[in-house]
Amino acid sequence: MQEHDRVRAVEWSGGVLRLLDQRRLPWEVTHVECRDAPATAEAIRAMVVRGAPAIGVTAAYGVVLAAADAYRRAGGQWRDAMTGDLETLREARPTAVNLAWALARMEVRAYAVAPDHDPVPELLSEAEAIHVEDIDANRRMGRSGASLINTGSGVLTHCNTGSLATGGFGTALGVIRTAWGDGRLTAVYADETRPWLQGSRLTAWELVTDGIPVDLIAEGAAPSLMRSGAVQWVIVGADRIAANGDVANKIGTYGLALAAHYHDVRFMVVAPTSTIDPETAAGADIPIEFREPDEVLFAGGKRIAPEGDGVGAWNPVFDVTPAEMVDVLVTERGVVHRPDAQGIEQLLG
């Protein structure tokens, strides 16, 4: 599968966090260098890096930068000195549970370091472990998900769930990569994914970079595509999964699930168990992030809506798909068919 896995969005080199600037793709391949935790938090907030697993990996490296700065400034009081930076990282993107999960794991490791020791080596080792584990988990999910797809199938995916959204290889796109390498797929379709166009800018770029052909569709075309019989699976990622199996993901996912349910197209969610939030009972309890109206009112830097105070925009970043519309949840620990509270509990247990 190596020939279909060339992209990496998050890199650590020489004490600097380098993030592939996904706002500039596909026109320009450039990196943003983060040398402290506030810069890392801003990169997450501004969507230089996006995708729940990639945000978690980035936040872990952000803790390393916070610790390095705190140790320089405060010596043996570095734990207290980094508290503000940790909170800044925590507030960068509230919906992606991987961010909070990664910060909690890094904090546990931080408290295992003696106060009079330099925390950076230990915390960097933990951040690198989170990064490597994510890639390994993605490969396991790719194999598990691909095994469910019959040869000759077409698939539709939404937003970006590949190497750009993770430590590497991808969740839903990792399944597609694996299935393509196995010769199971005849066609791959991707939604444009307004308003940030992650499908057209990122997924299409990533797939073509890795030698996998893709056809883009406008989101409104998805139900007709399903009715045509061209796709047998919709495969998406997740930003948070509630304890009952409800899935928060990029806005538009719920509509795809509705159309798939009507047209007897199977619906697969692919996400690591770190995306599951057992403390959140149901999708209604998941905080949904809203962003600036200009993201909807503009496209490519040009206003596409009428001028004037009378035109606004409702711009939620995520929606919630009820668990009963999910045919299969694929994680690194295993596959849950028709996920519900009992299935999630067994998976995590």
In tens, the pLDDT along 242-280 reads 999 999 999 999 999 999 999 999 999 999 998 999 999
Reduce the DSSP state of residue 262 to 3 states and report it.
helix
| Chain centroid offset of residue 135 CA | 13
CA angle 135, 139, 142 (to 5 degrees): 135
Active site residue 215: no
- Residue 173 CA to residue 160 CA, distance in Å, equals 8
Tell me the β-bridge partners of 191. Answer: 217
Question: What secondary structure letter does DSSP report for 62?
Answer: H
Reduce the DSSP state of residue 271 to 3 states and report it.
coil
Q: Which of 5, 239, 246, 319 is catalytic?
A: 239
Per the prediction, the chain carries an average pLDDT of 95
Helix pair 83-90, 97-111: axis angle to 10 deg? 160
In tens, the pLDDT along 17-71 reads 999 999 999 999 999 999 999 999 999 999 999 988 999 999 999 999 999 999 9
CATH numbers and ranges of domains, the chain? 2-136 (1.20.120.420), 142-348 (3.40.50.10470)
pTM of the entire structure?
0.90
The one-digit pLDDT tens for each residue of the chain (349 residues) are 445 788 899 999 999 999 999 999 999 999 999 999 999 999 999 999 998 899 999 999 999 999 999 999 999 999 999 999 999 999 998 777 889 999 999 999 999 999 999 999 999 999 999 999 999 999 999 999 999 999 999 999 999 999 999 999 999 999 999 999 999 999 999 999 999 899 999 999 999 999 999 999 999 999 999 999 999 999 999 999 999 999 999 999 999 999 999 999 999 999 999 899 999 999 999 999 999 999 999 998 899 999 988 999 999 999 999 999 999 999 999 999 999 999 999 999 8
Mark out the alpha helices in the chain (DSSP H runs).
37-45, 52-74, 78-81, 83-90, 97-111, 120-146, 172-181, 204-209, 222-227, 253-262, 294-297, 341-348
pLDDT at 300: 82
pLDDT at 156: 98
* 130 backbone dihedrals φ, ψ, rounded to 5°: -60, -40
- Residue 99 CA to residue 263 CA, distance in Å, equals 35
pLDDT at 1: 42
Q: If we measure between CA atoms, which residue out of 152, 241, 237 comes closest to residue 199?
A: 237
Q: If we measure between CA atoms, which residue out of 166, 173, 131 comes closest to residue 53?
A: 166
pLDDT at 2: 44
Strand ranges of the sheet holding 334-337, from the earlier edge strand across to the other edge: 215-217, 185-191, 153-157, 233-236, 266-270, 328-331, 334-337
pLDDT at 3: 55
